[in-house]
Amino acid sequence: MNILKKLLGGEFMDKSKKISDKELIYQLEGKPSFKVAFPLGLQHVLAMFTGNLAPILILIGVLKLDGSLSVKMIQCAMFVSGLTTFVQLYPIKIGKFQIGAGLPIVMGTSFAFVPTAKTVGMQFGLAGLLGSAALGSLVEVIMGFFYKPLKKLFPPLVVGSVLITIGIKLLDVGVSYFAGGAAAASKGEYGSIQNLTLGFLVFFVIIILQRFGKGMWKISAILIGLIVGYVVAIFMGKVNFSQVLTDPWIGIPLPILMPWELKFPLEAVLSFAAIYIVSGLETIGNTSGITIAGFNREATGEETSGAILADAVGSTTAVLFNALPNTAFGQNAGIISMTKVVNKWCVAMGAFTLMVAAFIPKIGSIFNAMPASVLGGAVITVFAMILINGIKMIAKAGFSDRNVIILGITFGLGLGLGANPDAVAGLPAALRFIFQDTVACVCIISIIANVVFPPDEKDREISAEMVKKGE
């Protein structure tokens, strides 16, 4: 009888009944009720939706694609983001390797590829852009398979520096959204009192709920803040529903170009390969950010390797679906930092919503109609948490003389060169793409500095203690 009960899952069900939804959401495994899981998953979708589509919209404008093609690319971006998120949540096992981290990592279209995509697309067209991005992803595949022997290149000091830099970069994006974004700038309304009012409204709603809210009110603070801001924006006349009315109800996310139509110019492949290294390092940073914030430990080698491989495979899939490469979204890591909700089932609800939205263009239009200032008011707090996680990681590594020197070199040269692209104008194009990106610059210089100044015994002991739980 007991064996039958186990086979039917009765024992598990009995145990799970003893655990309330409020407890389950703070555990990696388990299935909270739909009424609890769906809002928490939707919160992740709302936080990343515009960021997921914005790179695609930029690319559409540069390549001057017509409306029907634009809709298809947007649909494909949503579909692949949801699909790759599922892979991160529920890894695919291949021998001793796994594709996916098994962690609540949300995947979306990466902004890091936009400058390269614009240049390559203007020179080689969409076929050259997508082909180069697909072939360049092999670099990240190698990073994933050989992460364990390579992980000494990415100690906590490097990853912490990356997290801080990602946070700084994202805060800049958040502030831009807060003030109204590019659309407001084109109308001369950037930083207008209306945009700032919406931004501060959402910001304060979230802060108040985070500080004084109880239960679901506190957990869903970001979602509630976004809803309040969206409703107020409608009454202020800041929401344009014209695209919602014209878009069809049903549309299958199919690629524009087939794989055999792609082109692979060598210089473009090398440029994309360089950015994939950055994307891999961002994924390492965000994976660590999630495990630190959600589980108070470093990510294991298997989790990190799986996250990188899922990033690479997801990027290749995205490109084959005519979208830009994917990466782990820092804003969603920030949500986990704020809420401590790490349950995979909750995040899966968000991934499912993304995939459904890919088949219903009107849903995507409704999300996309959200004013930038509303989104900015929410994400600015989220982005700050990423920066704070990086500071925590460096603090745990300690401020020995060696670490202080490395941090000085990393932020002095990394942030300096990254913030002044003209300083590297004489570099070859493939390298220039890396050093024009602040995150890439910080990563590379930090890695080099760690090699040039090897850790002493005390530093190794501290590092080993930090990763002990993850080994």
pLDDT at 368: 66
Distance of CA 114 to the CA centre of its chain: 14
- Which sign, positive or negative, has the C-alpha torsion 262, 263, 268, 269? positive
Measured distance CA(316)–CA(310) in Å, rounded: 10
Q: What is the mean pLDDT of residues 214-224?
A: 71
Measured distance CA(17)–CA(10) in Å, rounded: 10
- Which sign, positive or negative, has the C-alpha torsion 252, 253, 256, 260? negative
Residue ranges with strand state E in 209-320 = none
**21 vs 164: which has the higher pLDDT:** 164
- 326 forms beta bridges with 109
Given pLDDT bands bounded at 50, 70 and 90, which one contains residue 280? confident
Given pLDDT bands bounded at 50, 70 and 90, which one contains residue 340? confident
**What is the reported pTM?**
0.66
pLDDT at 17: 47
C-alpha R_g of the chain:
22
Residue 389 has pLDDT above 50, yes or no: yes
CB 165 within 8 A of CB 419: no
Q: What is the mean pLDDT of residues 123-127?
A: 79
pLDDT at 388: 83
Residue extents of the structural domains in the chain: 25-251+261-466
Count of alpha carbons within 13 Å of 210, Cβ hemisphere only?
17
- The DSSP bridge pattern shows strands 97-99 and 326-328 to be unpaired
The CA distances from residue 461 to 161, 265, 397, 458, in Å, are: 20, 46, 10, 5
pLDDT at 436: 63
Token pair recorded at residue 384:
């700050």
Mean confidence (pLDDT) of the chain: 76
Helices (H), 137-265: 138-145, 147-150, 156-178, 181-186, 193-212, 216-219, 221-235, 242-246
